[in-house]
Structure 1
Amino acid sequence: MSSDTTSAGMTGLDWPKLFATRAERMKASEIRELLKLLDQPDVISFAGGIPDPALFPAEAFGAALTSALSGDSKGAALQYSVSEGYKPLRDWLVTRMASLGVECTADNIMITSGSQQALDYLGKLFLSKGDTALVGWPTYLGALQAFNAYEPSYDRLTPLGNRSAADYRAAAKANGGEVKFAYASADFANPTGETLAGSARKNILDLAEDLDIAVIEDAAYQSLRYDGDEVPPMQALDIERNGSIENTRTIYCGSFSKTLAPGLRVGWVCAAKPVISKLVLMKQAADLHSATLNQMAIHKVASEGFDAQVAKIKATYQARRDAMLASLARHMPEDVSWTRPDGGMFIWVTLPEGADGAALLAESIKTERVAFVPGRAFFADGSGANTLRLSFSCASEAMIEEGIKRLGRVVRGG
């Protein structure tokens, strides 16, 4: 058959018919689409929860990359490597985790291509079709996207400890599976900016013990505290209870994306060895290993200046958070409320019942050129229409004042 006949007489392959059923649950990220607005100079964007590139330690990374590609190290930097990750970086992370109350060894740590890859692997590891994941209401959109591919059901994680394990089991059984894990962003959560108190963390561990399930602790923002006292990670509390990381059920997912550089895509998982060994097999099958050159650069920059870099970005983001809170107080109607985060990058706004964040976004971009993320995307059941997420990390204090003033006009109806 000639190519002309093929193009003229046949239709294309029906690709959706061949896709696995899980593909139906793969949806585009509203946030990734909104990030395109950042290229429009007249739009004030509070949409992307991304670091300010002006704060990246670019010179330090330039020196680190030059060093990695010089002398005896250049061969290793450009060669295949072990799936567990660059050993000096894992050793540095052992010290870092110890400072958070988590005693472990390098064998308890695997390097991932950002913590997003870790969430995907953990969904693959634990979820069979119909199993239940316990998540916040709302929760991180990227976690829902990672888990969705494995066709789970979702149930609402209640950190107050006011729902029994038996109730969760019954609900999971009715949905055709078992409860497999609880997922929580414990510090300055995306999207709400809220932090779980120590008592709430202990309640989640209690529930996990009663259900005999894993706990996935998403710690992407853990370093970005501006106010208040540090709260120990759930993994540290788990070790305190059980004596050793090998006896724990908590899986800690960390990232350098919010502190050093997101573009290098370096994160890590810290967990008991049986979990790490399975994740290593997944890593081998998926991409062999994270980029060695990137890991070497992260290691050098982190080991020489992590604390100083964190202090710099915290000072900037704290001022922007304070500016946004003050602007909200000046320009929002009395029937609008919002969170007051102790750290991170986000403020969560709740509009009156009946309001529609998606419709508000369309009007805001059209009339005031201000972008944000409608809250519905962060709810596993599609609720939360009257909520929205604001990010203050990439806007100057002057932009924040002007943007919130404009947004206030839209919320008031003109």
Structure 2
Amino acid sequence: MSLDHLFANRTSRMSASEIRELLKLLDQPDIISFAGGIPDPAYFPRAAFADAMTVALSEQSAGVALQYSTSEGYTPLRDWIAAHMATLGVPCSRDNILITAGSQQALDYLGKLLIDKGDTALVGWPTYLGALGAFNAYEPRYDRLDPSDNRAPEQIALEAAEAGGRVKFAYLSPDFANPTGITLTQQERRTVLARADALDCAVIEDAAYQSLRYDGEALPSILAMEIEQTGDIEACRTIYLGSFSKTLAPGLRVGWVVAAKPVISQLVLTKQAADLQTATINQMAVAHVAEAVFDTHVETLRAVYGKRMHAMLDALSANMPTGVTWIEPEGGMFVWVTLPNGMDAKALLQDALAANVAFVPGGAFYADGSNANTLRLNFSMSSEAKIIEGIARLGAVICTAMGEVSPRA
């Protein structure tokens, strides 16, 4: 018996994550994987979490840790986040904060909250695959979010109306974006805000990688810039998404949303209908660890991941043939590579796997599936030695596919 005929029409827009499916193939220890966008578990603050769980499960705290709690989130954690956001130029209170099961859940909630069928979402080209997966179920139309776009806002709005809806939001990750590693300049951030003002739409700022800067000077978040303009978070259209997944530990699934109170209130109703609350014990543990070690732990990650990023960039320069280009990020976890026109990264992946090296083909990050000649490389999960070896293998595979004898070096 099959129930497929009962599935809602919107399920046709839902598909398996190419990254999640690819990761299933990479259990073999001899494969050097640049595919996952995940932190190195060797640097999880295990001792701090062990202490945090002991405290949470103590006689004094277990009744709170194992009990139902408020949908908004654990108050000490929200207070820590409010203080943290203040250091980033975002003065706010706990009432401007909702705790979610990772920022991925926040993306799903915002899709549910903002998108009517046929509405337009402005996204990067490419953009984060998980955001497309979260939004797809609500049946949006996608248009390009590009600060250099010369179209007038009126033209963008007209195209959205002709498609049967309106522009609801611009989604972007302005710091070390997944998948490209690109960071928007301050002027580009201002342009995004000005365009959102002209379109009267929201801005969803995905700040998952903001803490992981290795080179260059830190830039203010879009929300911080908007607060500077308006003077008050309650007058802002930007919705900021934060996460502990890339800094402390992804498995506990703790993220947060910062926004004007009416947005938070509506998201709380969405969360109540979905899962009531994020696990209290996880929130308590994260609050304890964040209070104890967040700043020093992030400094450790910056030192380790920064060396790995530079090892990958140097290895690419040494091993890639002429015609292959890449973006040099200042932080995050990814390097974005563009192959010569006509090459297909999906086809190349099969040859790469035969050489025991893996990556993610770039087409999955485009809302229209285009640009098959791109790929994403992750550097956070591999040692410098493995990065050098893996890029050498990948370079040899690409040279063979291009009919080159040796890399540009």
TM category, shorter: over 0.9
SS at match of 1:314: helix
Unaligned runs of 5+ in 2: 402-409
Looking at structure 1, the residues matched to 164 and 248 of structure 2 have their Cα atoms a distance apart, in angstroms, of 42
- Which residue number corresponds to residue 154 of structure 1? 142
Q: Decide which of 360, 367, 375 is 2:362's aligned counterpart.
A: 375
- Which residue number corresponds to residue 221 of structure 1? 209
Looking at structure 2, the residues matched to 56 and 44 of structure 1 have their Cα atoms a distance apart, in angstroms, of 21
SS at match of 2:25: helix
- Paired residues of 1:37 and 1:43 also in contact (CA < 8 A): no
* 1:201-250 deviation line (CA, Å, top 9, x unaligned): 00000000000000000000000000111110000011111110000000
Matches within 5 A, 1:39-58: 39-58=27-46
- Which residue number corresponds to residue 405 of structure 1? 392
- Which residue number corresponds to residue 6 of structure 1? none
Deviation at residue 267 of structure 1 after TM alignment: 0.0
- Residue type at the aligned position of 1:402: E
SS at match of 1:181: strand
Matches within 5 A, 1:157-306: 157-160=145-148, 162-306=150-294
Deviation at residue 161 of structure 1 after TM alignment: 5.1
Looking at structure 2, the residues matched to 231 and 384 of structure 1 have their Cα atoms a distance apart, in angstroms, of 29
Deviation at residue 163 of structure 1 after TM alignment: 2.2
- Which residue number corresponds to residue 12 of structure 2? 24
Deviation at residue 162 of structure 1 after TM alignment: 2.4
* 1:69-113 deviation line (CA, Å, top 9, x unaligned): 103211000000000000000000001000000010000000000
- Paired residues of 1:86 and 1:296 also in contact (CA < 8 A): yes
SS at match of 1:81: coil
Deviation at residue 175 of structure 1 after TM alignment: 1.3
Q: Decide which of 25, 28, 36 is 1:37's aligned counterpart.
A: 25
Looking at structure 1, the residues matched to 224 and 25 of structure 2 have their Cα atoms a distance apart, in angstroms, of 40
- Residue type at the aligned position of 1:136: G
Deviation at residue 117 of structure 1 after TM alignment: 0.1
Deviation at residue 265 of structure 1 after TM alignment: 0.2
- Which residue number corresponds to residue 406 of structure 2? none
- Residue type at the aligned position of 1:343: G
- Residue type at the aligned position of 2:92: C
Looking at structure 1, the residues matched to 301 and 371 of structure 2 have their Cα atoms a distance apart, in angstroms, of 31
Looking at structure 2, the residues matched to 125 and 155 of structure 1 have their Cα atoms a distance apart, in angstroms, of 19
Deviation at residue 37 of structure 1 after TM alignment: 3.1
* 1:229-281 deviation line (CA, Å, top 9, x unaligned): 11100000111111100000000000000000000000000000010000000
SS at match of 1:51: coil
- Residue type at the aligned position of 1:213: C
Q: Decide which of 378, 388, 394 is 2:381's aligned counterpart.
A: 394
- Which residue number corresponds to residue 302 of structure 2? 314
**Are residue 90 (structure 1) and residue 78 (structure 2) matched?**
yes
Looking at structure 2, the residues matched to 161 and 306 of structure 1 have their Cα atoms a distance apart, in angstroms, of 38
SS at match of 2:251: helix
- Which residue number corresponds to residue 336 of structure 1? 324
Looking at structure 1, the residues matched to 271 and 223 of structure 2 have their Cα atoms a distance apart, in angstroms, of 23
Deviation at residue 318 of structure 1 after TM alignment: 0.4
- Which residue number corresponds to residue 129 of structure 2? 141
* 1:359-401 deviation line (CA, Å, top 9, x unaligned): 00011112x1110000000000110100000000011111111
Looking at structure 2, the residues matched to 130 and 153 of structure 1 have their Cα atoms a distance apart, in angstroms, of 6
Looking at structure 2, the residues matched to 35 and 339 of structure 1 have their Cα atoms a distance apart, in angstroms, of 24
- Paired residues of 1:161 and 1:203 also in contact (CA < 8 A): no
Looking at structure 1, the residues matched to 102 and 177 of structure 2 have their Cα atoms a distance apart, in angstroms, of 17
- Which residue number corresponds to residue 407 of structure 2? none
SS at match of 2:24: helix
TM-score scaled to structure 1, two decimals? 0.96
* 1:139-190 deviation line (CA, Å, top 9, x unaligned): 0000000000000000000112522111111111121111000000010000
- Which residue number corresponds to residue 106 of structure 2? 118
- Residue type at the aligned position of 1:118: A
**Are residue 67 (structure 1) and residue 55 (structure 2) matched?**
yes
Looking at structure 2, the residues matched to 164 and 331 of structure 1 have their Cα atoms a distance apart, in angstroms, of 43
SS at match of 1:39: coil
> Identity of counterpart residues, as a percentage?
65
Looking at structure 1, the residues matched to 56 and 147 of structure 2 have their Cα atoms a distance apart, in angstroms, of 45
- Residue type at the aligned position of 1:233: S
**Are residue 365 (structure 1) and residue 353 (structure 2) matched?**
yes
SS at match of 1:34: helix
SS at match of 2:203: strand
Looking at structure 2, the residues matched to 149 and 185 of structure 1 have their Cα atoms a distance apart, in angstroms, of 21
- Residue type at the aligned position of 2:377: L
* Aligned length in residues: 401
- Paired residues of 1:161 and 1:207 also in contact (CA < 8 A): no
Looking at structure 1, the residues matched to 249 and 263 of structure 2 have their Cα atoms a distance apart, in angstroms, of 27
